[in-house]
């Protein structure tokens, strides 16, 4: 196979994302069974996803989110009654350890080989710009990657100013025209039809024009509101089996996907975005066409260096995506 370009993720690709977390856990909670670090890390991310919707709605502060995820995680592994000070000390130490990260040695050798063979490389990573840029600086990424080939895309709520929000779920930067594969169109039509059924027969359902909405009979006040991405993450990672809880309601049922994979990778909804981009890149779709598809703003320093996306280039995307469902 001939590679036109190769795009890397940052976390858990260029450096070991779990190592700084493990070091902080060992220092701050020495009685914990460190052999369980894989599960501890997964549950830490899980509780982050649980709390994040409240943070985006300004129901809790970032400090409260950090306290919550640390306390809930440690409770699961036998450490109860962690104080606010202990959780914030852990956070401070974790940030310190993130500043000590280094590039994985094998990645260093790979990047040298790619340079030697004149294969263009780039980075696509998600998260706060300041934090991700600091990580890139710490691992020495800028000696291998040109800055114009590094894309840091913040999450919807974290990446836009408050006055850019549209309701509580979308920001104005995210509106764009995107071509869809045949299967994607079928899924949208199925969901829209299901929404119509709820509009007609569910008195609790409030139609606000969203497609993927809550339809829970246990939380009627939320019927018709857009689903937050944490709903999908909870489904992917929850080990619950759907049995009834003490209130008589079904527990959240999930597929516990991390423990069913043959490789060590924490799966969240964002991984599907990376898969989408990687698949198109492997098929030879130009980086500027992919960038246009995933929605980077026209004013960014990255988009300024790319040529105008022609209709012919965009039209190459859909036939390739359709091969996935044949």
Q: Beginning with the edge strand found earlier in the chain, give each strand of the sheet holding 121-126 in spatial order.
A: 6-8, 121-126, 150-153
| CATH of residue 291 | 3.40.50
| CATH of residue 77 | 1.10.150
Do 25 and 94 lie in one domain? The reply is yes
Domain count within the chain: 2
As a whole number, the mean pLDDT across the chain is 78
Do 23 and 93 lie in one domain? The reply is yes
Do 25 and 87 lie in one domain? The reply is yes
Q: Burial of 170 by CB count in 10 Å (0-12 exposed, 13-18 middle, 19+ buried)?
A: middle
**300 against 92, higher pLDDT:** 92
Domain membership flag for residue 200: no
Domain membership flag for residue 56: yes
Over residues 87-141, the pLDDT tens digits come to: 988 988 888 888 889 999 999 999 999 988 888 899 988 766 777 888 998 899 9
Do 79 and 110 lie in one domain? The reply is no
Do 25 and 84 lie in one domain? The reply is yes
- Containing domain of residue 68, as a range? 18-98
Of 80, 98, 116, the one marking the end of a domain is: 98
- The pLDDT value recorded for residue 155 is 43
Over residues 261-280, the pLDDT tens digits come to: 877 777 877 778 777 777 77
Over residues 31-53, the pLDDT tens digits come to: 899 899 999 998 998 898 888 77
Q: Between the ranges 49-58, 161-170, 184-193, where is the mean pLDDT highest?
A: 184-193
Q: Which residues pair with 124 in a beta bridge?
A: 151
Do 28 and 89 lie in one domain? The reply is yes
- The pLDDT value recorded for residue 243 is 59
Domain membership flag for residue 187: no
Domain membership flag for residue 112: yes
Do 44 and 71 lie in one domain? The reply is yes
Do 124 and 93 lie in one domain? The reply is no
Does the CA dihedral 274-275-278-284 come out positive or negative?
Answer: negative
Do 41 and 89 lie in one domain? The reply is yes
What lies within 8 Å, CB to CB, of 254 at 6+ separation is 234, 235, 236, 237, 238, 239, 240
Domain membership flag for residue 124: yes
Over residues 231-257, the pLDDT tens digits come to: 787 778 776 565 565 666 656 667 778
Do 56 and 77 lie in one domain? The reply is yes
How would residue 175 be classed by pLDDT, with cut points 50, 70 and 90?
low
As a whole number of angstroms, the distance between CA 300 and CA 292 comes to 12
Domain membership flag for residue 239: no
Q: Dig out the tokens for 179 from the structure.
A: 């071509």
């Amino acid at each position: 196979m001939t590679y036109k370009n190769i795009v890397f993720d940052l976390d858990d690709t260029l450096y070991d994302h779990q190592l700084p977390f493990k070091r902080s856990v060992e220092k701050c909670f020495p009685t914990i069974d460190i052999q369980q670090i894989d599960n501890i890390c997964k549950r830490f991310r899980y509780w982050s996803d649980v709390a994040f919707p409240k943070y985006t709605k300004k129901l809790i502060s970032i400090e409260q989110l950090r306290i919550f995820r640390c306390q809930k995680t440690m409770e699961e592994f036998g450490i109860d009654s962690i104080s606010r000070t202990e959780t914030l000390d852990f956070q401070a130490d974790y940030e310190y350890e993130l500043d000590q990260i280094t590039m994985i040695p094998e990645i260093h050798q790979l990047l040298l080989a790619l340079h030697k063979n004149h294969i263009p490389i780039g980075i696509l990573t998600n998260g706060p710009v300041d934090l991700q840029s600091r990580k890139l600086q710490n691992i020495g990424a800028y000696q291998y990657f040109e800055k114009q080939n590094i894309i840091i895309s913040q999450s919807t709520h974290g990446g836009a100013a408050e006055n850019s929000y549209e309701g509580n779920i979308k920001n104005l930067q995210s509106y764009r025209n995107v071509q869809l594969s045949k299967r994607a169109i079928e899924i949208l039509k199925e969901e829209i039809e299901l929404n119509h059924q709820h509009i007609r027969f569910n008195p609790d359902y409030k139609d606000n024009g969203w497609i993927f909405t809550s339809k829970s009979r246990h939380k009627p006040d939320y019927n018709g509101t857009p689903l937050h991405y944490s709903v999908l993450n909870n489904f992917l990672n929850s080990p619950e089996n759907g049995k009834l809880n003490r209130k008589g309601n079904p527990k959240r049922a999930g597929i516990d996907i991390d423990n069913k994979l043959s490789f060590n990778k924490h799966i969240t909804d964002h991984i599907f975005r990376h898969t989408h981009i990687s698949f198109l890149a492997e098929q030879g779709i130009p980086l500027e066409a992919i960038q246009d598809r995933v929605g980077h703003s026209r004013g960014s320093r990255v988009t300024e260096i790319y040529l105008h996306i022609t209709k012919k280039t965009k039209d190459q995307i859909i036939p390739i995506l359709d091969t996935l469902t044949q």
